[in-house]
Amino acid sequence: MSLVDDARKVRENAYAPYSKFKVGAALRTIDGSVFVGVNVENVAYPEGTCAEAGAIAAMCAAGQTRIAEVAVIADSPEPVSPCGGCRQKLAEFASADVKVTLATTDGLLQETTVGALLPGVFSQDHMSRT
């Protein structure tokens, strides 16, 4: 099963009663493990979390921190674009060349990279004087 298939399957479990916009994310780590996540909304809207954040949390909970590949899927007209915060979260655990596949439930695919998604990423280097 491809990473997009993993994301597609887990998306069904997204908790999105407010936006009705279900998102699934899957990531593979450098040892080959796959972790998945969904968006989890809350009646206090800002407390909701994105699918990518869920997958990253599952990865960290399993003791892993290096992402090798990512897939994100939603029922959108164009492949879903990760939010700015999730781009920064992915960059924490993935090198710039890591492949990210953005997908629609209709089967559209767009391939990009963590680096292309976040030019000018904030990094540890910016804090080198501290």
**Residues at the interface with ligand THU (CB under 6 A):** 16, 19, 21, 23, 39, 41, 48, 50-52, 72, 80, 82-83, 86
Catalytic residue among 12, 41, 52, 78: 52
Sequence-ordered list of residues with C-beta below 8 angstroms from that of 23, at least 6 positions apart, any chain: 11, 14, 16, 38, 39, 50, 51, 72, 73, 74, 80
Least Å distance, CB 61 to ligand THU, is: 18
52 among known catalytic residues: yes
Q: Which is nearer to ligand THU, 19 or 123 (CB)?
A: 19
Least Å distance, CB 68 to ligand THU, is: 19
Strand, coil or helix: 7 = helix
Q: Is the dihedral of CA 111, 80, 93, 125 positive or negative?
A: positive
Q: Which is nearer to ligand THU, 63 or 79 (CB)?
A: 79
Q: Which is nearer to ligand THU, 90 or 124 (CB)?
A: 90
| Residues assigned a catalytic role | 52
